[in-house]
Structure 1
Amino acid sequence: MSAPLDAYAPALERARTHAFAWLASVAERPVGPSADADELAPRFAAALPEEPTDPAAVVDELAALAAPGLMAMQSGRFFGWVIGGTLPAALAADWLVGAWDQNAGQRYSTPATAAAEEAAGGWLLDLLGLPAGSDVGFTTGATMANFVGLAAGRQDVLTRAGWDLDRDGLAGAPRIRVFVGEERHAVVDLVLRYLGLGAPVAVPVDGEGRILPGALATALDTHPGPAIVCLQAGNIHSGAFDPMREAVDAAHARGAWVHVDGAFGLWAAVSPRWAARLDGLDTADSWATDAHKTLNVPYDCGIAIVSRPAVVRAAFGVHTSYLMADDHGPGDPHEKVPELSRRARGVPVWAALRSLGRSGTVGLVEGLADAAAALARGMAAIPGAEVLNDVVFTQVCTSFGSDERTRRVTRRLIEDGTAWMSGSRWHDRDVLRISVSNWTTDAEDVRRSVDAVARAAAQEP
């Protein structure tokens, strides 16, 4: 017997009520949580009841327990990390994905979600200016999207070196060296650990964190053999982009696979204003980005793009008698990501892009950059503050003199609750780091946030 509607209706109605109440509160509530995990853990961990509890009552209890520990990450005044809010169409589509409960790994068994994801993938390639016919997979986030691109690179360079990775594994294989800029995101090193490739070769960068193509060429020449180059679209502090065309040319001339970590910055390619800074992006071999960052779809959704479908499908494809494989055309979704069973994460991406259209997607990206520029101007006007980076895309780093004062200002700001910005360390200095990623951020949010930082700075002379 299928579950009757009345088994779901009361709990879903309560969830709807609590969801609407939360969304209504975001605009004015303090951004940060009012209780930490140590306070909340014992409340959640009360003795498990012996008897069943009404589902609607469980939803009410969950909402009440969680309330003090929720961060208003959708707020227009949340700048702590590049996380993004939730576009209305994307949130609604995510609710449907949960209700449909499709195991979206196969085209045969779940054709609707497969078709939506394929359409979203095609739109993404078009918007980002990446090669038509590339495989697009939807992962849990940028970490696994980078995993996909670098795993495809590993598969390709070893195959070209005459090594059968599937049969023989990594033991005894030719050494693969991975070349990265000195200011790559730490997730790249994490993924290399997952892949068994070891620590990368760090290549010098300029003052904004951009890799130096000449230094990359020298490093590749110094370490001959199978190679992967990982470039960056969006430095986590400066927002800067590696010089794609020069770096890709240097890498390809030496037989390297080129992967681009573009967790948030890859989206700059959709904007005529910013695309020139990514000239040559399309000549790389694989790319990784997030949809829950700049595009503002719900957690979790990364995007992995590989220009050579045969390579990524060789890395992740599974063929058994009980799986009804799609042996032609776009392939099965599970062949493009490291998950045989998977959620239909690409459906909210389809909804977001269908809702925004081309002009709306460009406007979203450029609006985030405009808000970052306005925040940088506001920070620079605060007495004793210094903006340390050129405002490139959506990141702003500010110092308030000494490291100790910068830390105090950051703590004071978080305690104030009006805005949330994270502390970090860049170029051997403590900084207040601003990451603009929410579609809701407007001029009033910028004004209130700058005023909050100014108050914090005035209280910490």
Structure 2
Amino acid sequence: MQNDDGTQSLTDVLSHTSEVLAGSQKCALIPNRSHLRHAETSLHGDLPGDGLGLTQTVKHLLKDITPALSAASLSPNYYGFVTGGTTPAAHAADILVSLYDQNPLVHLPDQTIATTVENHALSLLMQLLRFDRSQWSGVFSTGATASNVLGLALAREYTVNEAIKRRGGSENVASIGLLQACDAAGIESIDVYSTMPHSSLLKAASIVGIGRSHVHDVSQGEEDLHFDMGKLADCLSRKGQKAASIIVISAGEVNSGLFATKDFEDVQSIRDLCDKHNAWLHVDGAFGIFARILPRNAATEYVIQGAEGLELADSIAGDGHKMLNVPYDCGFFLTRHASLSQEVFQNSNASYLTAGGHGIVSPLNISIENSRRFRGLPVYTNLVAYGLHGYRDMLWRQMSLAREIAKYLFHHDAFQLLPDCLYRSDDDIERNVFMIVLFRAKDEVLNKELPTRINQTSRLYVSGTRWNSEDACRFAVANWQVKPKEDSELVQDVLDNIVNDWTTLH
């Protein structure tokens, strides 16, 4: 192994980072095929005996690999998935995360401040989202999928344990396992009821032993994300005591950005059903939960109402690497049942890992991992750097751009804004659109090619998706750099050129 002095190599990496962030070194939204092919052929298939050394390896990274990386999170014009991006403050923090390489899951208050910083980050996050810190506990996760796993794991524990108690037992799932616990509870199935559930919820159901086929859609219709309360109540009553029940509210559906509940009263009705049937209420709030940070006015009222009442839930999953604009990987999980978290996730038989202090439980006892990176530092840094008003400004700009794009599509002869049942005027757009815009081309042939044609311009990027069994496109506006007027003009120019070219050819 060659002992290269790392100073120059680190300087080269930091210089590259500075040039990219300053915009002097442009990165393509999606790398071209030649860069991808070159990078692939440059990769080492065989393990070097002596190694290349640090200097040559860093050159390989900068020359061969980075040109083939997507610049999605660096650009305000990347509208695929719901990729927020990374603010300058979060970039700075993340460099320190790598440098100091902390494991914040073991709370060692006399040795490092890391766990305490994450605890403060969670407190600041709850303040931002308007949750009472005295009632809620939380942890950082890899993302909303992991947080949904945490939520369903607690829901499984709670609902089955309650059924055991009804029969006079004292066992719990965490101790005796799911199969034996269900037998003791007289439970034949664990059912999850939601509306247009995200795929990550089905994945979580599979992981925790509930099963994907036990996730049921109880929405009002194919284009209506709201709960059919009659159907939900009927399902809970019909299953009776032979089933454990979990209800999941989607705070921001992935294709439309719409909410599963209309207002606080909607959530209260669901909470009442949960209390009646010993069901658990979980929220998949990946991005929609951030509507709670908006100031209330005529332009935000309907969106805010969609995220009202979520404090009545038992647990909440959210993504930091979306609307918080911190690096991958970062999600968060909140619950009102701290003791249940310790029952399920405690790190048994390793007393050297159970250290705590200053009122902070070692996070390894309330989450999946025993070790991970210090992902809470960029969250803390962003919240301190930008504060409530900074995040409100980010979200307002994102909403404004989404609404400008939606109005352009609504009035364009070649496009159809979806769900079309919602939009009859600009007022409907100003009322309903949050930060996702779903649309399709009216020409069926163009519609199938539309995502590819848009993305091939390399000026912006959208996701192809499906809606009502038809092809569609989706803008997800989430980057902190958004400039509504400039970015709207760019979107319109790209789409106008595509339509004009298509009309000329056909």
TM bracket (short chain) = over 0.9
Hey, what does 2:179 align to over in structure 1?
171
Hey, what does 2:415 align to over in structure 1?
385
Gaps of 5+ in 2: 165-170, 262-266, 423-431
Task: Measure the CA separation in 1 of the matches of 2:129 and 2:10.
Answer: 37
- 3-state SS of paired residue (1:71): coil
Pick closer, same or farther for the CA change 1:205–1:181 going to 2, 3 Å: farther
Q: Which moved more, 1:189-198 or 1:101-110?
A: 101-110
Give the deviation of 1:337 after TM superposition: 1.6
Give the deviation of 1:33 after TM superposition: 1.7
1:55-87 Cα shifts (integer Å, max 9, x gaps)? 133122112212342222121110011011101
Which of 292, 310, 314 is matched with 1:281 structurally?
310
Task: Measure the CA separation in 2 of the matches of 1:156 and 1:250.
Answer: 16
Which of 230, 233, 243 is matched with 2:248 structurally?
230
Give the deviation of 1:222 after TM superposition: 1.9
Bigger-Rg structure (1/2): 2
Q: Aligned residue pairs: how many?
A: 457
Hey, what does 1:240 align to over in structure 2?
258
- 3-state SS of paired residue (2:192): strand
Which of 431, 452, 459 is matched with 2:494 structurally?
452
> Normalising by the residue count of structure 2, what TM-score does the alignment of the two structures yield?
0.85
Q: 2:194·2:247 contact (CA, 8 Å) conserved in 1?
A: no
- 3-state SS of paired residue (1:322): helix
Hey, what does 1:258 align to over in structure 2?
281
Hey, what does 2:482 align to over in structure 1?
441
- 3-state SS of paired residue (1:56): helix
Q: 2:140·2:375 contact (CA, 8 Å) conserved in 1?
A: yes
Task: Measure the CA separation in 2 of the matches of 1:71 and 1:196.
Answer: 35
Hey, what does 2:10 align to over in structure 1?
12
Task: Measure the CA separation in 2 of the matches of 1:312 and 1:146.
Answer: 14
Hey, what does 1:345 align to over in structure 2?
375
Task: Measure the CA separation in 2 of the matches of 1:431 and 1:340.
Answer: 41
Pick closer, same or farther for the CA change 1:150–1:26 going to 2, 3 Å: farther
Does 2:335 align with 1:306? Answer: yes
Task: Measure the CA separation in 1 of the matches of 2:156 and 2:100.
Answer: 36
Task: Measure the CA separation in 2 of the matches of 1:80 and 1:331.
Answer: 37
Give the deviation of 1:46 after TM superposition: 4.9
**Residue identity opposite 1:195 in structure 2:** V
**Residue identity opposite 1:234 in structure 2:** G
Gaps of 5+ in 1: none
Q: Which moved more, 1:236-245 or 1:303-312?
A: 236-245
Pick closer, same or farther for the CA change 1:270–1:178 going to 2, 3 Å: farther
Task: Measure the CA separation in 2 of the matches of 1:280 and 1:324.
Answer: 35
Map of 1:99-178 to 2, 5 A cutoff?
99-108=99-108, 111-133=112-134, 134-162=136-164, 163-172=171-180, 173=182, 174-178=187-191
Q: 1:84·1:438 contact (CA, 8 Å) conserved in 2?
A: yes
- 3-state SS of paired residue (1:205): strand
Task: Measure the CA separation in 2 of the matches of 1:222 and 1:54.
Answer: 66
Q: 1:108·1:324 contact (CA, 8 Å) conserved in 2?
A: no
Task: Measure the CA separation in 2 of the matches of 1:43 and 1:180.
Answer: 48
**Residue identity opposite 1:121 in structure 2:** L
Q: 1:27·1:75 contact (CA, 8 Å) conserved in 2?
A: no
Which of 385, 398, 408 is matched with 1:355 structurally?
385
**Residue identity opposite 1:159 in structure 2:** N
Does 2:95 align with 1:95? Answer: yes
- 3-state SS of paired residue (1:348): helix
**Residue identity opposite 2:496 in structure 1:** A
Pick closer, same or farther for the CA change 1:380–1:311 going to 2, 3 Å: same
Does 2:237 align with 1:221? Answer: yes
- 3-state SS of paired residue (1:355): helix
1:272-304 Cα shifts (integer Å, max 9, x gaps)? 334322221100000011111011001110001
1:303-358 Cα shifts (integer Å, max 9, x gaps)? 01111110112111114232242277231121222000111111110001001111
**Residue identity opposite 2:368 in structure 1:** P
Task: Measure the CA separation in 2 of the matches of 1:29 and 1:324.
Answer: 45
Hey, what does 2:19 align to over in structure 1?
21
- 3-state SS of paired residue (1:226): strand
